[in-house]
């Protein structure tokens, strides 16, 4: 089978500032097969791979990275640098 496989993942983040922050957190993971952009309040990532298995693996990795990026966003508008030990 020939041809590349492509996935487009768009996630809504409520405002442009949050979308920019999420995209900035994800951009270091971009490779030649991953492109992340911001469209108003959404983060849009296109992943292109040669195989279905490779695409699935890359999408899985991306979704985990996206979840971490969103979880680490400050909820009060202030960046958190505090380290708490429990």
Domains identified in the chain, total number: 1
> Residue with structure tokens 């270091």?
28
Residue at 17 is within a domain = yes
> Residue with structure tokens 């768009």?
10
For the segment 60-86, what is each residue's pLDDT rounded down to a tens digit? Answer: 999 999 999 999 887 655 544 444 454
Q: Number of C-alpha atoms within 13 angstroms, CB side, residue 69? A: 21
Residue at 86 is within a domain = no
User: Where in the sequence is the domain holding 9, given as residue range(s)?
Assistant: 5-72
CATH label of the domain that carries residue 28: 3.30.310.50
Q: What is the pTM of this model?
A: 0.80
Residue at 79 is within a domain = no
What are the structure tokens assigned to 78, written together? 């202030």
CA distance 17 to 48: 27
For the segment 23-39, what is each residue's pLDDT rounded down to a tens digit? Answer: 999 998 888 999 999 99
């Amino acid at each position: 089978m020939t041809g590349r496989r492509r996935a487009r993942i768009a996630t809504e983040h409520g405002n442009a500032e949050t979308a920019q922050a999420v995209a900035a957190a994800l951009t270091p993971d971009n490779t030649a097969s991953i492109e992340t952009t911001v469209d108003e309040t959404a983060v849009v990532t296109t992943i292109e791979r040669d195989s279905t298995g490779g695409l699935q693996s890359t999408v899985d990795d991306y979704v985990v990275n996206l979840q971490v990026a969103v979880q680490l966003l400050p909820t009060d508008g202030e960046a958190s640098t505090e380290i708490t030990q429990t």
